[in-house]
């Protein structure tokens, strides 16, 4: 179903049936809507997402089952689980601590190696901590009995055997890992006069590769993120392999400088790059307020452009934000439209309960020499939502099921090339009666909704 963010209150009901075993007859899925005609998404979602075909005639229909490799729901820690952190220290070959190195806990199961927890070492001590690791391992042990685990480096292109650990014997002494000389990249942040700049928060390094289908076009690889934390020199203690690199520096979510067309490093190579920050970059500014005019206090602001594209910016004091022009997705006539949303603080255990506030704005891209001030943008609780119930195969309600919303998106800007992406649109947990409400205040488009629960694999998804 297509809908506008400013539409009147619309209630769409979706019932999810989650099944404990693949060896029994698949459950049924139903969806109801006064105006929508749901369609099959089996052919458009990947095997972990494409789980059912749904008809919108308000009758129960037979669901189409697919092979599910593994369930993705977490379960509550057992009472016997001992809470404790797992600490890791990374050293170079000379025994000196290395910061900004990504490390992970890997699960080894049926010939595969998957990361279950991730952390980054501190740039001073070279240490990283996996908090509450013992309780998290207890949940893993119930879901994946017989699995083994190891702690290792999580650097793309660097395959090093990790240190085996016993997940049920934590806490242990700090584990030490040695980082081989794999090369390094040092980024020096300077202003136009060459003086060090220390107010920036992040440095991003992106490898670029020649597109196999479009000669002359460079495609982005996996981006490396290093916290600058006020440092004027930031080092990646490993090589960034590829054909070229793009280095960006951000000041609390605002792009402050870019260095492009850098020949990428080779394994074992050490290089220094100087990134010169411009004093100002073209941008759009504004602030978000509540319906009563109060500044909204939140960490970040999500921006979803129409008809495609999304980004986020960090919120400053009094709800202020700065959106660089480099992040705008404008139409051919220079106009751009976007839906804004914030997640207010609020947690109950591991559940996010803070309200989602949303709003919209339409504007014309400003000339490069002058910023565009949007002024105060009012965000309200969304007026459109999807509600439903999560039940098991016997029809009993499931409490605490994780319900997420997917949006149909166009990644390659081809009108005929669409896919499905979670993109952080929203997620909620079902209550004691299995009920849930998922807020939707996004651009006109098509959406799908699915659910996970402890010990169950979902077999139904509804598209609307």
Q: Do domains 86-170 and 184-267 have the same CATH topology?
A: yes
Structure tokens at 351: 């559940």
CB 356 within 8 A of CB 428: no
pLDDT (tens digit per residue) in 164-188: 888 777 777 888 888 887 778 888 8
Into which CATH architecture does domain 184-267 fall?
A: Sandwich (2.60)
**pLDDT score at 427:** 64
Q: CATH for 86-170?
A: 2.60.40
**Given the structure tokens 């006064």, which residue do they identify?**
34
Give the whole-angstrom CA distance, residue 429 versus residue 434. 9
Residue ranges of the domains in the chain?
1-70+281-464, 86-170, 184-267
Residues of the chain with pLDDT below 50 are 1-83, 350, 410-418, 422-425, 443
**Structure pTM?**
0.44
Burial string for 204-221 (b: 16+ CB within 10 Å, else e) reads: bbbbbeeeeeeeeebeeb
Sequence-distant (≥ 6) Cβ neighbours of residue 215 within 8 angstroms: none
Cβ-based neighbour number of residue 124 at 10 Å: 8
């Amino acid at each position: 179903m297509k809908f506008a963010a400013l539409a009147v209150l619309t209630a769409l009901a979706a019932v999810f049936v989650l099944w404990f075993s693949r060896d029994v007859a698949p459950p049924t899925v139903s969806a109801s809507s006064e105006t929508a005609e749901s369609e099959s998404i089996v052919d458009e979602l990947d095997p972990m997402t494409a789980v059912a075909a749904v008809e919108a005639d308000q009758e129960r229909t037979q669901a189409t089952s697919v092979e599910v490799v593994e369930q993705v729901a977490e379960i509550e820690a057992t009472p016997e689980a001992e809470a404790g952190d797992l600490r890791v220290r990374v050293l170079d070959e000379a025994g000196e601590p290395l910061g900004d190195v990504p490390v992970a806990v890997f699960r080894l199961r049926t010939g595969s190696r998957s990361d279950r927890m991730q952390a980054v070492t501190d740039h001073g001590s070279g240490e990283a901590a996996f908090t509450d690791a013992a309780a998290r391992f207890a949940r893993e042990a119930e879901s994946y009995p017989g699995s083994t685990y190891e702690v290792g480096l999580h650097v793309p292109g660097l395959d090093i055997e990790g240190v085996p650990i016993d997940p049920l014997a934590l806490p242990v002494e700090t584990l030490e890992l040695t980082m081989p000389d794999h090369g390094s990249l040092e980024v020096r942040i300077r202003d136009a006069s060459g003086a060090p700049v220390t107010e920036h928060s992040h440095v991003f390094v992106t490898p670029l590769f020649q597109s196999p289908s479009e000669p002359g076009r460079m495609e982005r690889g996996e981006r490396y993120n290093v916290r600058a934390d006020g440092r004027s020199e930031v080092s990646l203690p490993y090589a960034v392999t590829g054909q070229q690199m793009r280095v960006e520096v951000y000041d609390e979510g605002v792009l402050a400088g870019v260095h492009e067309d850098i020949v990428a490093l080779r394994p074992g190579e050490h290089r220094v790059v100087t990134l010169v920050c411009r004093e100002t970059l073209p941008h759009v500014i504004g602030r978000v307020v509540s319906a009563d005019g109060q500044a909204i206090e939140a960490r970040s602001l999500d921006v979803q452009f129409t008809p495609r594209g999304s980004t986020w910016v960090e919120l400053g004091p009094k709800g202020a934000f700065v959106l660089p022009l480099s992040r705008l997705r404008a139409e051919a006539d220079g106009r751009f439209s976007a839906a804004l949303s914030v997640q207010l603080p609020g947690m109950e255990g591991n559940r996010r309960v803070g309200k989602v506030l949303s709003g919209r704005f339409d504007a014309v891209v400003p000339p490069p020499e002058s910023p565009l001030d949007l002024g105060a943008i009012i965000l309200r609780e969304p007026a459109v939502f999807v509600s439903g119930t999560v039940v098991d195969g016997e029809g009993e309600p499931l409490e605490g099921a994780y319900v997420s919303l997917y949006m149909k998106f166009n990644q390659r800007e081809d009108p005929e090339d669409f896919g499905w992406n979670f993109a952080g649109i929203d997620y909620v947990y079902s209550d004691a009666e299995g009920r849930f409400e998922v807020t939707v205040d996004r651009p006109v488009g098509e959406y799908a909704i699915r659910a996970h629960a402890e010990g169950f694999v979902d077999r139904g998804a509804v598209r609307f």
